[in-house]
Structure 1
Amino acid sequence: MAKRPDSRDEHTSDETSDSGSAGAAFFDLDRTLLRGASGEVFSDAMRAAGLVSRTIPGEKLLYQLFNTVGETLPSMALARQAATFAKGRSRATFQEAADSVADRLVDMVQPFAESVFAMHRDEGRPIVLATTTPYDLVKPFADRLGLDGVVATRYGVEDDDDTYNGALVGPFVWSTGKLAAVREWADEHDVDLVASYAYSDSVYDTPLLAAVGHPVVVNPDPRMVFMAAARRWPTIELDVAPGVRKVPVLGMELQKLALTFSRPSMVPYADIRIRHADKIPAEGPVILVANHRSYFDPMVISMVVAKTGRAVRSLGKKEVFDVPVVGPLATAMGGIRVDRGTGSDEPLKAAADALNAGEMVAIMPEGTIPRGPAFFEPKLQGRWGAARLAHMTGATVVPVGLWGTELVWPRSSRVPKLFNVTDAPTVLATVGDPVEIKGKSVDKDTKRIMKAISALLPPEARVRREPTPEELAATYPPGYQGDPDKENERRPGTD
């Protein structure tokens, strides 16, 4: 897949074409900018305003079909005839009805659309709504979003009484008609299509996407999946974090598909017991924080997440993301690459964007698995990242205590102990109540987070003891040549 062209990806693009004119960003409405169709919302508004007296038989089924497969020729034929049905109706009443539901439409905007808007605004491009939906219906919505222009189907109006006359003014803004309308708008505003972007889900918008320099396919309908592949157009989803992929046609996030197989029963070499997963909120921004004892921890966390029915974005070390095949897969599954050596805030910003979009983010504040004596320290220490994210976003922080994972996959082993089937070690994952985040000090809130995690561990975890040489050896990676006495210096810092 091509890279996602938004502000969180490095990308290069010509600000202007050879003609010197600047580009714009044109967005389709239904199934692109919005989650699903606007038609049902407008239909409700028309009935409430008395503009429509009855429900069309099978109307809801038609909307469900649209949400599943996108535009169809019959639905567009009906939309073309809508101007005739509106004949004699008051334009002002239509506009009032549209204004009454504009906020409902704003609530339907895809959660990651704003970050794409921000990228275009930063680079000086006007943002334009380009839709088949009548202009008078979508203008209040576009105004709410602060868009710079609207290209939409326009109905003719009688001069004497401001009622619709049953005719169209200009093209029916669909397929080649949409391209014609966009070209007219671009000419009027000195915008060069070669320097422009266009976003759409529909195969019927192929003419427009082919005409701009930067076509972007969003949530493609089944036919557009093949068109995008054939033309090598980048495909993105605005309802999930950058880089996350969905299964084509099914529309299911790849991670959610994988989580259906993430169950304790699928791991015969460990007796995994998950407690109180119902304490994780079913929706809204959540920061899942856990202690780090083993390479097996991510698998156990995935089993905890699977019980919620949600997806999760996980911050991970760059070494994982740099591995061929594994790295791209980690990104597609919702991973966020962290390179602590650079001191960059980009991973934190990506995590904050996910949280602001209502997603869940998992962090292990210790940053890495403690080695040597540090592994047996009863007092957990964490980096400030989780607390900083909570301060930035107001997300709920939910602690998870992990215990026994090192018995399945110790740091000293390159692979888990897959043959412990007859005597499988017990692994505990306990979810706690949300941590009270004061929001005044990241250091103090980090200590609250680590204390909450520690409280979920067995009593022996909070008692200082002298480990055996064998226990110490299990905490070092294969071929370890470091100084065990200096391992405490590797404890988490303040980043």
Structure 2
Amino acid sequence: MAEIVYPPVIGALRTMFRMLDMKIDIVGAEHIPTTGGAVLVSNHISYLDFIFAGLAARPSGRLVRFMAKKEVFDNKISGPLMRGMHHIPVDRAEGAGAYVAALRALKAGEVVGIFAEATISRSFTIKEIKNGAVRMAAATSSPMIPVALWGTQRLWTKGRKRAIAQRHIPITILVGEPMYPKRGEDMDAHTAELRRRMSELVDKAQRGYAEIPEGVWWQPAHLGGSAPTPEEAEALDAAEREAREAKHG
């Protein structure tokens, strides 16, 4: 397919990163194949995660097609960009359509990016994850590759003001070894193993980060930060869901 939008967007972002003197450390990029379909599964701590998870595939020369909620495509600014980069819209009321589109992309040899937690983790730890990524990988005989991002939450995350123009922010991107789920195998067991690997990668990224101050909002509670615990984060998410449902009747 024609790539008119994606390369210029990457170029503009790289220029912005240089201007902000953003320290981006990518480790394990060799795990992403240079050809063929692959499922990239990243943790989700920021509204900008698709940008940085996509950078993980750049050393392999790949462009990632991310699955993102339909509302992003409906926006008059982000919508044309998302469609131009051939990302995949997800309508939560009609999820089957997005799943089929992702399978089609994988069979065509594309790299599909998924945030298996579905929503941003306020605790900055791995939430419960869906098994969609595992099922896609198994159905298309594609490798499934876990990715951990850290530092992106400092730029823009749920409940915090945007700080995209901050300078000198370190960003860590860790790419784990591929998993190869097969048809007929236990999808729930593979999903549990994927979550374990993602948690391990995120912990490694957190503990090896260039800055580990105590008490800051962007540090998880178990490492001395003031972010909500997983239990507190779940309560906040539940309250948000209730408020949204009440608003829409």
> Which of the five TM-score ranges fits, normalised by the shorter chain?
0.7 to 0.9
Q: What amino acid is the match of 1:301?
A: A
1:449 aligned residue (194, 206, 209): 194
Amino acid aligned to 1:429? I
Paired residue for 1:401? Answer: 148
After superposition, the CA RMSD in angstroms is 3.1
* 1:409 shift after superposition: 1.9
CA contact (8 A) 1:403 1:429 kept: yes
Instruction: Please show how residues 26-425 of structure 1 align to structure 2 within 5 Å.
Output: 240=1, 246=2, 252-263=3-14, 265-266=17-18, 268=20, 270-340=22-92, 342-371=93-122, 375-377=123-125, 380-418=127-165, 420-421=166-167, 424-425=168-169
Q: Structure 1 residues 451, 416: closer, same or farther in 2, change over 3 A?
A: same
SS in 2 for 1:362: strand
Deviating beyond 4 angstroms after TM superposition, the runs of 4 or more aligned structure 1 residues are: 459-464, 487-490
Shift of residue 464 of structure 1?
Answer: 6.7
2:171 corresponding residue in structure 1 = 427
Which of 227, 231, 239 pairs up with 1:471?
227
Specify whether residues 266 and 304 from structure 1 end up closer, same or farther in structure 2 by C-alpha distance, changes over 3 A only: farther
Considering Cα pairs closer than 8 Å and 6+ residues apart, tell me whether 1 or 2 has the greater RCO: 2
In structure 1, the residue matched to 2:214 is none
Q: Post-superposition shift, 1:393? A: 0.8
Of residues 266-275 and 285-294 in structure 1, the stretch that sits farther from structure 2 once superposed is 266-275
SS in 1 for 2:137: helix
**Cα distance between partner residues in 2 of 1:411 and 1:283:** 35
Alpha-carbon separation, structure 1, partners of 2:111 and 2:99: 13
Question: SS of 2:174's equivalent?
Answer: strand
Secondary structure, counterpart of 1:429 in structure 2: strand
Q: Which residue of 2 aligns with 1:102?
A: none
Counterparts of 2:33 and 2:104, CA distance in 1: 18
TM-score (norm 2): 0.78
In structure 2, the CA distance between the partners of 1:281 and 1:253, relative to structure 1 (3 Å rule), is: farther
In the TM superposition, what whole-angstrom CA distance separates every residue of 1:241-264 from its partner, at most 9, and x where no partner exists? xxxxx3xxxxx4421343344438
String of CA shifts for 1:279-317, please: whole Å, max 9, x gaps. 210000111111001112122123223222222211001
**Alignment partners' CA distance in 2, 1:354 and 1:485:** 31
Native 8 Å contact 2:137 2:180 kept in 1: no
Unaligned stretches of 5+ in structure 2? Answer: 208-219, 243-249
Q: Distance in 1 between matches of 2:121 and 2:206?
A: 14
Please tell me the residue identity of whatever aligns with 1:465. Answer: H
Task: Name the SS for the 2:149 alignment partner.
Answer: strand
| Rounded Cα–Cα distance in structure 2 between residues aligned with 1:283 and 1:460 | 27
CA displacement 1:229-249 (0-9 Å, x = unmatched): xxxxxxxxxxx3xxxxx3xxx
| Maintained 8 Å contact 1:305/1:312 | yes
User: 1:364 offset after TM fit, Å?
Assistant: 0.8
SS of the residue aligned with 1:313? strand
Task: Give SS of 1:278's match.
Answer: helix
Between Structure 1 and Structure 2, how many residues are aligned?
225
**CA deviations over 1:171-191 (Å, ceiling 9, x no partner):** xxxxxxxxxxxxxxxxxxxxx
Distance 2:20 2:28 in 1: 22
CA gap of 1:417–1:325, structure 2 versus 1, over 3 A, is closer
Asked if the contact 2:29/2:56 (under 8 Å) is kept, the reply is: yes
- Structure number with larger C-alpha Rg: 1
CA 1:483–1:370: 2 relative to 1, 3 Å = same
* Alignment-mate amino acid for residue 441 of structure 1: D
Deviations 1:321-360 (A, max 9, x none): 11124212211111111011x1430101001001001111
Q: Which amino acid is the alignment partner of residue 381 of structure 1?
A: E
SS in 2 for 1:471: coil
Q: Matches of 2:67 and 2:58 in 1, distance apart?
A: 18
- One-letter code aligned to 2:132: G
Q: Distance in 1 between matches of 2:77 and 2:63?
A: 21
**Partners of 1:485 and 1:356 in 2: CA distance:** 35
- Is there any run of 5+ residues in structure 1 with no aligned partner, and where? 1-239, 241-245, 247-251, 477-481, 491-495
- Give me the whole-angstrom Cα distance separating, in 2, the residues matched to 1:274 and 1:489: 35
Is contact 1:259–1:302 with CA below 8 Å preserved after alignment? no
